């Protein structure tokens, strides 16, 4: 393509799609924290756009939900009106996912027709494929709660969330590459350090999803100890991703380690990164504070706002690290 033609509009569009993915993460968090994820027991990619529109339709949807272990063991007190509330969040989560597909595919086609995707077509297609796979992975997660479990599998929940963060990172990477040039200073050591931090963040996000899936924040509403213990007595008795107190311990320990490592990264990045450096440090501090508040106040009815904020800031922190490492990576087009 003509080198004089700016592709900043493509970069801006990708960053806007990334913002829409972050909104989807928020909607997904609300869906999870309100126990809404199993309210729709079928996956209809096209027909599922339209929710029930009549009383018989709502009664049929409610009847399907009443067959699930979640209703039989935990939610048998739900009224039809309460069911409509949780149905809305799962429906809206799926609807936003469909809208995301259109928000990506339609502008991509326009940019392609205008010749602005030269050399990028393959990258756009695999990002579109990643978004589609995310929808299928979401249904795979929901399936785990349709037969024996009262909640969806926390392992599949983590996979679904990490795939969303991966999609967000891919959009931010390409969007930042097109919107802002890479730094001219060579900093391979800092770049490797940032990649290492992103690897640890991925593990921390997975354990955060385990926390949500197992409702592990509720089993130890104390800080700085875990129910009066620095190391839970149950540690090592089960896999550290299956036992709630062990999950809690790993998530807290990783948080402390990450805070120290991010502080060292912030100092090492001085003179090389500007706003990205301070954004990472600020988000890290807020994230730790939100984690502590979530642990202390979740049992008092604040799990939804605090847990949601904690998830969003953690996701944004990961995004800030992605933008930082992209700024330190030599441009390849």
What pLDDT does residue 116 have?
Answer: 86
- Average pLDDT of the chain is 91
What pLDDT does residue 252 have?
Answer: 95
More confident residue, 307 or 46: 307
Best CA proximity match to 17, nearest among 192, 122, 167: 167
Tens-place pLDDT, residues 58-99: 999 999 999 999 999 999 999 999 999 999 999 999 999 999
What pLDDT does residue 4 have?
Answer: 44
pLDDT above 90: residue 24: yes
pLDDT above 70: residue 332: no
What pLDDT does residue 329 have?
Answer: 83
Distance in angstroms (rounded) separating the CA atoms of residues 54 and 49: 15
Mean pLDDT of all residues in 102-115: 92
Mean pLDDT of all residues in 223-235: 90
What pLDDT does residue 47 have?
Answer: 66
Contact between 318 and 205 under an 8 Å Cβ cutoff? The reply is yes
What pLDDT does residue 183 have?
Answer: 61
pLDDT above 80: residue 306: yes
Best CA proximity match to 187, nearest among 272, 279, 275: 272
More confident residue, 263 or 185: 263
Locate the domains of the chain by residue range: 1-180, 182-333
How far out from the chain centre does Cα 185 lie? Answer: 32
What pLDDT does residue 174 have?
Answer: 92
Query: Which residues lie across from 229 on neighbouring strands?
Result: 226
Distance in angstroms (rounded) separating the CA atoms of residues 128 and 100: 10
* CA atoms within a 13 Å half-sphere pointing along the CA-CB vector of 90: 25
Distance in angstroms (rounded) separating the CA atoms of residues 25 and 132: 15
Angle, helices 303-327 vs 8-33, to 10°: value is: 150
Distance in angstroms (rounded) separating the CA atoms of residues 201 and 110: 35
pLDDT above 80: residue 265: yes
More confident residue, 291 or 271: 291
Contact between 101 and 131 under an 8 Å Cβ cutoff? The reply is yes
Best CA proximity match to 30, nearest among 80, 92, 83, 84: 92
Length of the chain: 333
What pLDDT does residue 328 have?
Answer: 87
Angle, helices 154-179 vs 121-143, to 10°: value is: 160
Distance in angstroms (rounded) separating the CA atoms of residues 126 and 137: 16
More confident residue, 31 or 234: 31
Q: Long-range contacts of range 31-35, CB-CB < 8 Å, 24 or more positions apart? A: 31/89, 31/90, 31/93, 32/157, 32/212, 32/213, 33/212, 33/303, 33/304, 33/307, 33/308, 34/85, 34/86, 34/89, 34/304, 35/70, 35/74, 35/75, 35/86, 35/151
Best CA proximity match to 246, nearest among 237, 256, 258: 237
Give percent of the chain with pLDDT exceeding 90.
Answer: 74
pLDDT above 80: residue 172: yes
Band (272; pLDDT cuts 50, 70, 90):
confident
Contact between 284 and 317 under an 8 Å Cβ cutoff? The reply is yes
Mean pLDDT of all residues in 257-284: 94
Contact between 83 and 62 under an 8 Å Cβ cutoff? The reply is yes
Band (8; pLDDT cuts 50, 70, 90):
confident
Contact between 190 and 269 under an 8 Å Cβ cutoff? The reply is yes
Give the pair of three-digit tokens for residue 145.
């709660």
What pLDDT does residue 198 have?
Answer: 97
Q: What pTM, to 2 d.p., does this model score?
A: 0.92
Contact between 102 and 129 under an 8 Å Cβ cutoff? The reply is no
Give the dihedral of Cα atoms 214, 308, 26, 207; nearest 10 deg: -40
What pLDDT does residue 204 have?
Answer: 97
Tens-place pLDDT, residues 125-170: 989 898 988 888 999 999 999 988 899 999 999 999 999 999 999 9
Give percent of the chain with pLDDT exceeding 70.
Answer: 95
What pLDDT does residue 333 have?
Answer: 44
């Amino acid at each position: 393509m003509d080198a004089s033609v700016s592709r900043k509009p493509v970069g801006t569009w990708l960053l806007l799609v990334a913002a829409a993915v972050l909104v989807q993460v928020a909607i997904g968090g609300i869906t999870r924290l309100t126990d809404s994820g199993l309210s729709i027991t079928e996956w209809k990619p096209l027909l599922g756009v339209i929710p029930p529109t009549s009383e018989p339709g709502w009664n049929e949807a409610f009847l399907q939900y009443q067959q699930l272990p979640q209703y039989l063991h935990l939610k048998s007190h739900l009224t039809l009106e309460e069911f409509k509330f949780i149905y809305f969040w799962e429906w809206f989560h799926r609807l936003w996912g469909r809208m995301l597909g259109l928000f990506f595919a339609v502008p991509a086609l326009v940019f392609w027709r205008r010749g602005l995707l030269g050399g990028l077509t393959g990258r756009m297609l695999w990002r579109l494929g990643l978004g589609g796979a995310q929808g299928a992975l979401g249904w795979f997660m929901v399936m785990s709660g349709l037969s024996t479990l009262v909640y969806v599998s926390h392992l599949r929940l983590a996979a679904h969330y990490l795939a969303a963060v991966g999609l967000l990172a891919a959009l931010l990477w390409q969007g930042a590459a097109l919107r802002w040039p890479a730094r001219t200073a060579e900093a391979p050591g800092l770049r490797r350090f940032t990649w290492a931090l992103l690897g640890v963040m991925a593990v921390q996000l997975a354990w955060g999803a385990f926390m949500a899936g197992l409702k592990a924040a509720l089993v130890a509403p104390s800080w700085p100890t875990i129910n009066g213990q620095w190391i839970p007595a149950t540690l090592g008795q089960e896999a550290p991703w299956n036992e709630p107190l062990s999950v809690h311990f790993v998530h807290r320990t990783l948080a402390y380690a990450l805070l120290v490592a991010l502080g060292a990264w912030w100092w090492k990045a001085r003179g090389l990164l500007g706003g990205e450096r301070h954004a990472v440090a600020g988000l890290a501090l807020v994230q730790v504070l939100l984690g502590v508040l979530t642990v202390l106040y979740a049992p008092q009815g604040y799990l939804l706002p605090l847990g949601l904020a904690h998830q969003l800031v953690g996701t944004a922190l990961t995004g800030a690290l992605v933008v930082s490492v992209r700024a330190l990576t030599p441009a390849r087009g």
